[in-house]
């Protein structure tokens, strides 16, 4: 009898909303920190957070519509993109593979946004999750810098615990975010950490060696400085100083200068190969303009039909460009949905900052444009870490804005 009572009370404690949300929050803390460091460990914490969220919704779900109603215009383009890609998967030559890939690349990756939306988080909890994410990025960048100093004479690209391209996407997003926060935060301790993190991140940017990320950050950091300051003379001066210092470092370092100078060299292998892949992607779109070759079919179509005779890299699996990948694989329907989402996210985030001075809006802008600018030379939208970071970071911005709006 006593054991039965203990079981009942144990179950009641386990199923109390406060305890469920507390556990889920701790899982999200682990996910925040490990997402930029380890895909495997990050996935474990994300899975636990999703199970916690499901448990919470099973017990209490009458309040979940509130945030969707408040931000329905944000979720509408997301649902349109999901619908467009899913339809393309259904029209592909291998429907089972297309739906399977859709589930992995969209449903599972996008699930990173859900726990933070569906558990009750106050302002301090959201800030803690954001700080842990920034700390994880800091340590990830630190590993890249350590690799760079140890092996720079023999190698020229480093990714830490991730691939150089994935690490590059994180840099394209978080270096502009560090820049905004340095300008915005009031607490001196946090500002010191952000300055240190920016310095480490800048070194990681150099050692990462991804030219598309160099271009993205050189565009986005001055852009957010210009947007942030109302005094445009001051903002232009700060942006110009950053570009001047960065340019000086590149010109003073032969390896970096040589690498940077290849950006416009169309005869360089990686550049010429990208041009050929982009042409192949456009050929796929021209032959299949509505739904593309079918979601999940790019690899087969490229390697077996659309690869150009001049191409040397015969086993490429994507187009190295988010927009062209979408055009080739999902046609005008998928590409239009993708561009609409990108455009509306940009409008929403800039409007939040310019009209209401909500810093969450400007951070939202960095997440979107850091990912997409790098995505002009690399297909990063479906990469596991980059994709989960994209959706999770957007979720943090949305929830923080929601909390601030209700305060």
Same domain for 314 and 393: yes
Same domain for 107 and 52: no
Decide if 65 is inside a domain: no
Same domain for 399 and 352: yes
How do residues 31-74 score in pLDDT, each as one tens digit? 999 999 999 999 999 999 999 999 888 887 777 777 777 788 89
Decide if 127 is inside a domain: yes
The percent of residues in the chain predicted with pLDDT above 90, rounded, is 64
The residues near 166 (Cβ < 8 Å, ≥ 6 apart) are 159, 380, 383, 385, 386
Same domain for 207 and 113: yes
Kindly give the residue spans of alpha helices, DSSP state H, lying in 35-160. Answer: 39-59, 65-70, 72-90, 95-102, 109-110, 114-118, 123-151
How do residues 351-395 score in pLDDT, each as one tens digit? 999 998 999 999 999 999 999 999 999 999 999 999 999 999 999
Decide if 82 is inside a domain: yes
How do residues 239-258 score in pLDDT, each as one tens digit? 788 888 887 887 777 777 78
How do residues 297-334 score in pLDDT, each as one tens digit? 999 999 999 999 998 888 888 999 999 999 999 999 99
Closest CA relative to residue 239, chosen from 228, 223, 251: 223
Same domain for 202 and 101: yes
Decide if 217 is inside a domain: yes
Q: Is residue 265 classed as helix, strand or coil in its secondary structure?
A: coil
Same domain for 46 and 144: no
Distances 401 to 64, 123, 398 between C-alpha atoms, Å: 16, 9, 5
The helix-helix angle for 164-184 and 123-151 (nearest 10°) equals 130
Instruction: Give the domain-ending residue among 60, 86, 110.
Output: 60
Instruction: Give the domain-ending residue among 21, 41, 60.
Output: 60
Same domain for 308 and 216: yes
Instruction: Give the domain-ending residue among 30, 60, 90.
Output: 60
Residue 155 pLDDT: 67
Same domain for 48 and 86: no
Q: Domain range holding 84?
A: 71-406
How do residues 145-198 score in pLDDT, each as one tens digit? 999 888 766 667 888 899 999 999 999 999 999 999 998 888 888 889 999 999
Decide if 66 is inside a domain: no
User: Is the model's pLDDT at 8 over the cut of 60?
Assistant: no
Residue 10 pLDDT: 45
Same domain for 80 and 8: no
Report angle CA 37, 39, 43 to the nearest 5 degrees: 120
**Tally of structural domains, the chain:** 2
Same domain for 92 and 52: no
Decide if 374 is inside a domain: yes
Same domain for 291 and 214: yes
Same domain for 181 and 122: yes
Q: Rounded CA gap, 332 and 147, in Å?
A: 42
């Amino acid at each position: 009898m006593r054991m039965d009572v203990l079981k009942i009370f144990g179950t009641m404690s386990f199923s109390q909303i406060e305890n469920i949300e507390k556990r889920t929050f701790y899982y999200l803390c682990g996910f925040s920190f490990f997402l930029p460091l380890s895909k495997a460990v990050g996935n474990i914490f994300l899975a636990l957070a999703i199970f916690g969220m499901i448990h919470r919704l099973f017990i209490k779900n009458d309040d979940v519509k509130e945030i969707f109603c408040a931000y329905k215009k944000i979720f509408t383009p997301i649902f349109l993109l999901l619908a467009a890609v899913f339809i393309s998967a259904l029209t592909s030559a291998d429907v089972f593979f297309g739906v399977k890939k859709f589930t992995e690349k969209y449903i599972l990756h996008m699930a990173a946004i859900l726990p933070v939306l569906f558990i009750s988080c106050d302002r301090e909890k959201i800030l803690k999750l954001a700080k842990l994410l920034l700390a994880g990025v800091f340590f990830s960048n630190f590993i890249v810098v350590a690799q760079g100093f140890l092996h720079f004479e023999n190698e020229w690209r480093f990714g830490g615990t991730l691939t150089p391209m994935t690490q590059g996407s994180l840099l394209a997003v978080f270096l502009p975010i560090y820049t905004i926060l340095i300008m915005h935060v009031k607490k001196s301790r946090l500002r010191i950490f952000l300055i240190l993190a920016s310095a480490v991140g800048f070194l990681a940017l150099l050692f990462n060696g991804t030219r598309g990320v160099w271009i993205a950050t050189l565009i986005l950091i001055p852009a957010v400085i210009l947007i942030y300051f109302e005094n445009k003379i001051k903002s232009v001066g700060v942006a110009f100083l950053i570009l001047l210092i960065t340019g000086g470092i590149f010109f003073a370092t032969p390896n970096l200068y040589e690498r940077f100078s290849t950006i416009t060299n169309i005869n360089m292998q990686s550049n010429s190969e990208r041009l050929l892949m982009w042409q192949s992607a456009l050929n796929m779109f021209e032959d299949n303009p509505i739904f593309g070759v079918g979601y999940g079919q790019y690899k087969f179509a490229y390697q077996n039909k659309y690869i150009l005779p001049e191409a040397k890299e015969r086993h490429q699996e994507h187009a190295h460009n988010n927009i062209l990948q979408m055009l080739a694989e999902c046609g005008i329907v998928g590409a239009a949905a993708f561009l609409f989402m990108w455009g509306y996210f940009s409008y929403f985030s800039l409007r939040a900052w310019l009209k209401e001075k909500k810093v969450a809006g400007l951070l939202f802008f960095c997440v979107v444009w850091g990912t997409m600018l790098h995505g002009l030379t690399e297909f990063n939208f479906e990469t596991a870490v980059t994709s989960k970071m994209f959706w999770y970071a957007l979720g943090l911005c949305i929830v923080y804005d929601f909390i601030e709006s209700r305060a």
